[in-house]
Chain A
Amino acid sequence: MAYQPDRSQYPSRKPDGSLDIDLSSGKYLKLWQGPQHPGITGNMSVELTVCGDEVIEGKTHVGYLHRGFEKLMERRTFIQCFPIVCRICVPEPDFNEYCYAAAVEELAGLEVPERADWIRTLILEMGRINSYLMYLGGQAGALGQGVIGQWTTYVRDLMLDRFEELSGARIYHMFIMPGGVRDGLPDGFDQRMEETLREIESTLADVKDVMFTNAVFKKRTVGLGYIDPAIVDQYGVTGPTARAAGVAKDVRRDQPYLVYPQLDFEPVVGQDSDVFARADVRRRDLLMSVDLIRQILARMPRSGAVMAPLPNVLHWKIPFGETYIRGECSRGEYGYYLVTDGSGYPRRVNVRGPSYTHAMALLERLIVNCNISDVAALMVSLHTYPPEIER
């Protein structure tokens, strides 16, 4: 059931293809959503041109969180880059750590111990759960249902406790280093993790009852923000957003990394490609991550090195080369393009965050003909995190 707006009000187009909008006619209104606006994900803004309640043009404005990571990394040594990369994406920082570490390891020819690979996979799945929990709260919140956010943030907090005891920090874990991970699991971690997973599962059951089996929620989201499977590649759509459109893209299966080949899972795919389908795909993906964590904890080796011996990091040089490392984060394909030139500093790092394509080109396309009320829900459904757009 695709959303079919009434196009009779549509403004005509100028010869150069842009919309012919005369603001002084009083028919149209420029409305800024963000950056200081509760209905925006993070610190970004959308410049809406509205006619009545209908959005006829939307432009994403980013850059409010730009710190110039790619430049900063060019003047930091390879080890000094490691604490900084996680800041590129706040809610799920671990992918930055992994992709960066893997890129450095590949170019430096480091062999990571197997145990470290298992722990890395564990961390990535934990981060995925965190990110999805945050998304679920945000998706319900964008539609005015605050209680889901209360529950999911609480269980996310429990997961942050697990992160804290594992890595020593709540948000920026800085645990996955080039060469491996910093340390093994603490004592009793498995048991506490199992308790947390159970709490998550019970909360998700509640979420299913209250959010997904909800007449109003369905009314708002079914049919909203339809993405045609045909434009998935054109617009660089990846991850759950693509899977909700029936395109079974999942880097974990397509180009497996870490220990994913040894785990038993099947990508979650949806059909309807609307906001509801995307939310549902993410909910099921979350449950799959819970299952993956159980598999990992049951099968991971418990002893052995967690770090490859590093050269002295204070003057670590990496020979000339370039590579691209990708991983499947909760929002889609996350990748690091790293170029080295034989010196102690990266020549160039480019971070490919999935939000980059989702929040710009795709959002600007989907937002047309959408109701003002739905802008927030639509944007949240693409699960974008602004800091990874502008870095």
Chain B
Amino acid sequence: MRDLYDRLKTAFPLGELTEQRPDLAFVTVAKEQLRSLLLHLRDQEGFTHLVLLTAVDWLEEGNFQLTYLMNNRLACRDLGVRVMLPRDPASMDSIHDLWPTAATYQRELREMFGIDFPGSPRVDEDFILEGWIRTPPYRRDFDTLKFSDEVFAPRPGRASSDPTEFMKQQLYPDKT
């Protein structure tokens, strides 16, 4: 992986290489360089298979991390390309013309994270959710339990006691 990194480094400004396994590494690239890097990887380096495209919400830093995982199936190794995006407003170039499957990933990211991919086919259509009007659910600031309790109303009649408190009450009733 290191040799590949050194090769890429001459052409692209890359962040540090994180070698997770001998056949898997991650590298960070600026938003603007992503497209040309992916093209280079696909056409020159044999990384023809886009394994996945997903996002990680680093809420505390105010960033989204997009991970493009590329696979070179002849060399049997993977390279994860990370792109950091500002969280609000989040927008990224579409790569659906490089891999038609990317359009699906981008639709999902649009719906679940609220990351826009202008020009991607059907990107504004409902994908998985239907009639969703709240914060995109995969964002870290969306509290799913709270939402569920309010909207779906769990069955009443459940209550639990904390052993510590309960024992204090039972054993030392006057010292609560």
Contacts and interface: CB of A to CB of B under 8 A. Distances in A.
CB–CB under 8 A between A and B in the complex? yes
B73 A254 contact: yes
Interface centre among B26, B48, B51, B57 (most CB of A within 10 A): B51
Contact of B23 (A234, A255, A339, A357): A255
A390 B48 CA distance: 24
B20 A322 contact: yes
Given A236-B49, A255-B23, A322-B26, A339 B56 contact: yes
Contacts of B103: 361
A337 B52 contact: yes
Contacts of A106: 20-21
A350 interface: yes
Contacts of B21: 106, 323
B101 A337 contact: no
Interface string A201-238: 00000000000000000000000000000000111101
A75 B144 CA distance: 9
Interface stretch (B32-40, B122-130, B151-159, B160-168): B122-130
B76 interface: yes
Contacts of B51: 236, 324, 326, 333, 335, 352
Nearest to A322: B26
Contacts of A323: 20-21, 24
A390 B104 contact: no
B56 A234 contact: no
A236 B144 CA distance: 31
Contacts, number: 92
B80 interface: yes
Interface class of chain B by DSSP? mixed
Interface class of chain A by DSSP? mixed
A114 B78 CA distance: 26
A299 to B, nearest CB: 25
B99 A236 contact: yes
Interface centre among B48, B103, B104 (most CB of A within 10 A): B104
B128 A390 contact: yes
B56 A348 contact: yes
Interface stretch (A65-73, A130-138, A162-170): A65-73
A63 B99 contact: no
Contacts of A74: 140
Given A75-B145, A323-B24, A337-B67, A66 B128 contact: yes
Nearest to A339: B56
Contacts of B50: 236
A347 interface: yes
Given A236-B101, A350-B52, A360-B101, A71 B138 contact: yes
A361 to B, nearest CB: 5
B52 A62 contact: no
A236 B103 CA distance: 12
B69 interface: yes
A333 B144 CA distance: 30
Contacts of B130: 63
A323 B56 CA distance: 13
B135 to A, nearest CB: 11
A279 B73 CA distance: 24
A361 B104 contact: yes
Nearest to B54: A350
A68 B127 contact: no
Given A68-B144, A324-B52, A337-B54, 12 more contacts: A62-B127, A71-B142, A71-B144, A106-B20, A236-B50, A249-B73, A254-B76, A322-B67, A324-B51, A335-B51, A348-B55, A390-B128
Q: Report the 7 A-B pairs with minimum CB-CB distance, sorted nearest first.
A: A63-B128, A350-B54, A233-B48, A236-B101, A360-B104, A348-B56, A352-B52
15 contacts: A71-B138, A75-B145, A235-B100, A236-B49, A236-B50, A236-B99, A323-B21, A324-B52, A324-B69, A324-B78, A335-B51, A337-B52, A350-B67, A360-B101, A365-B100
Interface of B: 18, 20-21, 23-24, 26, 48-52, 54-57, 67, 69, 73, 76, 78, 80, 99-101, 103-104, 122, 126-130, 137-138, 140, 142, 144-145
